[in-house]
Amino acid sequence: MVSVGIIGLGAYVPPNEMSNHDWMKLVDTSDEWITTKTGMKKRRIASPETCTSDLAVEACKNALIDAGLKAEDIDLIILATSSPDVPLSSTAGIIQHKLGCTDCAAFDINAVCAGWVHALDIGSRYVGTNGYDNVLVVGSEIYSRILNWKDRATCVLFGDGAGAAVLSEVGEGKGIISSWLMSDGSGSSVIEIPAGGVRTPFNSEDFVEGSQYFHMDGRAVWNFAIEAFPQAVKESLQKADKSIEDVDLVIPHQANINIIKTGMEKLGLGMEKTYTNLHKYGNTAGASVPIAMKEAMEKGLIKDGDLVVTAAFGGGLAWGANVIQF
């Protein structure tokens, strides 16, 4: 069995920045409340003509440059998103076309904010099998289009962005050495867009205005996330036969600074062992982990020989983690 690792990373966020003070002009909130409750100060908002696939393409281009590869070198694209360009066909296929990957498979997965860590595990299982040498794993989201901008409990939390990784064969003992994934469908309504699917189409008699937007039970999410985050880290380390003392850096889903602090405390790790950028970008859902990893790499926080754990949790309910040996 080949060792599979990340040979290139890329990220992209749209240029338009929206601050807490900008939100104060639109809904009844305050900079102090948002900062204290979430740790967020700013987030990026895609322009109206920009699609999820456009952000993904830019992140993928950056990842390909980092890997020293061309678009035609890619054999498979896996997109993690819960804000696709269209309900069907796949946004991954749109990315494949825009990127110019001429001989390449492509498909979407949806595990909401935990999507990219799921996609990383899936992608790692393809590399080294017949016909799959290089796999692009990308998380891309435009949550600004699926939010109710009048719902102050959710609209201030999210931002738009994309992050991508190129997976390929690496040296023995390196790369993704374990993944652990879990789901609990009994909590599917905790985070959801209630309408727009076959259960409640927009033209249904049961359709209620507002149900086409993102909904979240904040208290239930908190209770879930503060347990799911440390559990995923511990379970993935156990599968890798590693201990928490071996970990050099944890890159969690950038949902909320207080969730991250609580989770790190439960792991017995200080905040110096993690990387956060949610103060700049908010919660970018399935894109948050690769964007944070790319920044951590650029800042020299991930070095050769480091053991890094990526962990995420979100709608589904779904959660998981990957252990990566650099």
Distances (CA, A) of 284 to 103, 167, 197, 291, 311: 30, 22, 23, 9, 14
DSSP character string of 209-229 = TTTTS-EE-HHHHHHHHHHHH
User: What are the helix (H) ranges across 240-315?
Assistant: 257-267, 278-281, 288-298
Eight-class DSSP state of 157: T
Among 159, 211, 141, 174, smallest CA distance to 4 is for 174
pLDDT confidence bin for 46, thresholds 50/70/90: very high
Question: Are 254 and 288 contacting, i.e. CB atoms less than 8 angstroms apart?
Answer: yes
pLDDT confidence bin for 286, thresholds 50/70/90: very high
pLDDT confidence bin for 180, thresholds 50/70/90: very high
| Segment 116-167, tens digit of pLDDT | 999 999 999 999 999 999 999 999 999 999 999 999 999 999 999 999 999 9
Per DSSP, the three-state class of 12 is strand
Query: At 249, which helix (H) or strand (E)?
Result: strand 249-252
For residues 182-198, average pLDDT: 96
User: Which residues have a catalytic role annotated?
Assistant: 113, 253, 283
Residue 1: per-residue pLDDT: 82
The answer to whether residue 309 scores a pLDDT higher than 90 is yes
Q: What pTM value is reported for the model? A: 0.97
For residues 291-315, average pLDDT: 98
In percent, the amount of the chain with pLDDT more than 70 equals: 100
Mean pLDDT score of the chain? 97
Per DSSP, the three-state class of 50 is coil
Question: Are 250 and 269 contacting, i.e. CB atoms less than 8 angstroms apart?
Answer: yes
The domains of the chain, with CATH numbers, are: 3-172 (3.40.47.10), 177-325 (3.40.47.10)
pLDDT confidence bin for 320, thresholds 50/70/90: very high
Among 193, 190, 191, smallest CA distance to 146 is for 193
- The values of phi and psi at residue 170, to 5°, are -130, 180
For residues 166-193, average pLDDT: 97
Residue 99 and residue 269: Cα distance in Å, rounded? Answer: 40
Residue 302: per-residue pLDDT: 98
